[in-house]
Amino acid sequence: MIPIRASLILSQMLFVLLLAGCGDSSDTGTGMAAQQRTVTTSLKPATDSRLAEGIRDAAAEHANDMSGFYLLRDGLSAFVARAVLIEEATVSLDLKYYIYQDDSVGRLLTSLLLKAADRGVRVRLLVDDLGTRVVNPWILALDRHPNMQIRVFNPVEGRSGIKRALEQAVNLGRINHRMHNKLLVADGLVMITGGRNIADGYFSKSSVEFLDVDVLSIGEVLPQSSEIFDRYWNSPVSVQVSELLIADDDEHSLEELRKRTQKLLADEEGSEFTRALEQSKMAAELASGNIPFHWGKARLMADPPEKALGKDDIPREEYPGYQLEEIIRDAKERVSISAAYFVPGVIGVDLFTGLEKQGVNVGVLTNSLSSNDVAIVHGAYARYREQLLSAGVDLWELRVVAGEERRKKWFRGDSKATLHAKTFVIDHSQGFVGSINLDGRSLLWNTEIGMLMESAEINQELHALFEEWVAPDSAWSVQLSESGKLEWHAEGDDGDAIVKHKDPDTTLWQRTLAWVLSWLPVESQI
Q: What pLDDT score was predicted for residue 22? A: 34
In sign, the C-alpha dihedral spanning 324, 329, 335, 338 is positive
Question: How sure is the predictor about 38, in pLDDT bands with cuts at 50, 70 and 90?
Answer: confident
List the single range of 244-248, 446-450, 470-474 with lowest mean pLDDT. Answer: 244-248
Q: What integer is the mean pLDDT of 400-406? A: 65
Q: What integer is the mean pLDDT of 62-66? A: 92
List the single range of 191-195, 289-293, 412-416 with lowest mean pLDDT. Answer: 412-416
Q: What pLDDT score was predicted for residue 52? A: 95
Q: What integer is the mean pLDDT of 376-397? A: 94
- Is the pLDDT assigned to residue 23 strictly greater than 80? no
- The Cα 519–Cα 94 span in angstroms is 42
Q: What pLDDT score was predicted for residue 175? A: 58
- Is the pLDDT assigned to residue 59 strictly greater than 50? yes
Question: How sure is the predictor about 138, in pLDDT bands with cuts at 50, 70 and 90?
Answer: low
- Please choose, from the candidates 242, 161, 243, 175, the residue with its C-alpha nearest in 3D space to the C-alpha of residue 31: 175
pLDDT in tens, 235-247: 999 988 888 765 5
Secondary structure of residue 217 in the 3-state scheme: strand
**CA-based R_g, the chain, Å:** 23
366 Cβ contact partners less than 8 Å away, ≥ 6 residues apart: 338, 339, 340, 341, 342, 381, 395, 396, 397, 398, 419
pLDDT in tens, 9-21: 444 444 333 333 3
pLDDT in tens, 295-316: 999 999 999 999 888 777 888 8
Average pLDDT taken over every residue of the chain: 84
Share of the chain residues as helix, strand and coil, in percent rounded to the nearest 5: 40, 20, 35
- The Cα 54–Cα 75 span in angstroms is 24
The residues facing 337 across adjacent strands are 364, 424
User: Quick check: 217 and 431 in contact, CB under 8 A?
Assistant: no
Q: What integer is the mean pLDDT of 179-198? A: 96
Q: What pLDDT score was predicted for residue 209? A: 77
Q: What pLDDT score was predicted for residue 21? A: 32
- The Cα 221–Cα 239 span in angstroms is 27
Higher pLDDT, 514 or 131: 514
Q: What pLDDT score was predicted for residue 263? A: 82
Q: What pLDDT score was predicted for residue 262? A: 82
36 Cβ contact partners less than 8 Å away, ≥ 6 residues apart: none
Question: How sure is the predictor about 3, in pLDDT bands with cuts at 50, 70 and 90?
Answer: low
Half-sphere exposure of 151 (CA within 13 A, CB side): 26
Active site residues: 180, 182, 187, 420, 422, 427
Strands 208-211 and 361-367: unpaired
User: Quick check: 450 and 301 in contact, CB under 8 A?
Assistant: yes
Domains, in order of start, for the chain: 51-288 (3.30.870.10), 311-525 (3.30.870.10)
- Is the pLDDT assigned to residue 4 strictly greater than 90? no
User: Quick check: 424 and 257 in contact, CB under 8 A?
Assistant: no
- Is the pLDDT assigned to residue 410 strictly greater than 50? no
Q: What pLDDT score was predicted for residue 185? A: 98
Phi, psi of 239 (to 5 degrees): -110, 130
- The Cα 73–Cα 75 span in angstroms is 7
**pTM (whole model) above 0.95:** no
Question: How sure is the predictor about 133, in pLDDT bands with cuts at 50, 70 and 90?
Answer: low
Question: How sure is the predictor about 256, in pLDDT bands with cuts at 50, 70 and 90?
Answer: confident
Question: How sure is the predictor about 180, in pLDDT bands with cuts at 50, 70 and 90?
Answer: very high
The residues facing 12 across adjacent strands are none
- The Cα 355–Cα 366 span in angstroms is 19
Q: What integer is the mean pLDDT of 177-186? A: 92
Question: How sure is the predictor about 524, in pLDDT bands with cuts at 50, 70 and 90?
Answer: low
Please give the share of the chain, as a percent, with pLDDT higher than 70. Answer: 82
The residues facing 364 across adjacent strands are 337, 395
Q: What integer is the mean pLDDT of 327-343? A: 96
Q: What pLDDT score was predicted for residue 223? A: 97
Give the per-residue SS3 of 372-402: CCCHHHHHHHHCCHHHHHHCCCEEEEECCCC
For residues 98, 103, 105, 106, the Cα torsion angle rounded to the nearest 10 degrees is 50
Question: How sure is the predictor about 224, in pLDDT bands with cuts at 50, 70 and 90?
Answer: very high
Q: What pLDDT score was predicted for residue 280? A: 87
- The Cα 526–Cα 510 span in angstroms is 18
Q: What pLDDT score was predicted for residue 450? A: 96
Question: How sure is the predictor about 28, in pLDDT bands with cuts at 50, 70 and 90?
Answer: very low
